[in-house]
Structure 1
Amino acid sequence: MGVSIVPTLKVLKPAAMMVAIGFVGLLVGYFANAAFFPGTTPVQPIEFSHRIHAGDYEIPCMYCHTQARRSISAGVPSVNKCMGCHSAVAIDSPLIREVARYFENNEPIPWIKVHDLPDFVHFTHKRHVAAGLECQECHGPVETMDRVTRMAPTEMGQCLTCHKDNEVENGIDCLTCHK
């Protein structure tokens, strides 16, 4: 007389499917949370401390993020900008040697965006820099961070409140549609 486990496996199949779907859901949720919600702190390809550069050495944001004053995006500094200082400063550091490797290979450092807006949002850094906003008003106290963390979600309500409080005129009354 033979014993078969097939009937038992048929009973367990729906439970196994639910576990698999739940696991996939957790993975998707984890990555969505990391991408869209506060507290996001991606691990960068090279550890970079804003606390040291912008805090201790008081290097202005615009020195590295030069595109912010003239374009939509603030951009990230090129490896050439990094090597402008680090061809003479901290050259024995393992992190700087890694930066130098990118430089020697003529490759950009593949930084991971921390502050990212959905594609449907039109935001221009240039206008906000020209209006005199400090970077910290949206990005938080970056000069105190060893690893940049998105401190709060970037939501339209924040933008509308700021525009309303400061009586910003841009030719379109956004508050007509966005209440």
Structure 2
Amino acid sequence: MHYSTISSSRFYVPSAKKYVTLYPVPPNTPYPYVGDPVINGGIFVRRLVKNSPPPGSFIRCNVETLTMESYLAAWGRATGLAPEESSTAAVQISPQSYVDLWGAMAQEQLSQWQFFQWVQDHYPPTWEGVTIVEGMDLLTDEDKKELLSVEESLKWYDWSAFGKKPTAKAVTGRFST
């Protein structure tokens, strides 16, 4: 999961009146998301146990595939901190700058997001011997009704640290006007 590092890279920019997140990939990079890992993960596992795919299959279990930009917008709506259209912005920075800012976890996230883009660019796979099964295809209609959407899942987290928007302090000193 990406909660701590993604959360720490999200900040409010008063001049833009937006919450901004810096990403090392384009804002339209796909972001497959399972939603709530406890609830939704359990639903997928329960169905996989009852209805196993062929041995050696890769199972892609995500409730929604968002983009970096649409994920951030969903976060804004879910928290109530940035519910309006265009009140969030995903800004691309270089991979090296991202790693320099956020450390080792950033390198891990970068590789995941680059992989998500690669999978989308090469989907469906044509590699001999590789079978990818969509987890949603294994679920019953009843299972699907139990899933929490990404936006609903985001409401379950404590985002109170983002409750106060930092603002620029008034400049007082010899060069202030």
TM-score, normalised relative to structure 1: 0.24
Q: Select the structure of larger CA radius of gyration.
A: 1
TM-score, normalised relative to structure 2: 0.24
Higher relative contact order (CA 8 A, sep 6+): 2
Name the one with the larger helix percent.
Answer: 1
Name the one with the larger strand percent.
Answer: 2
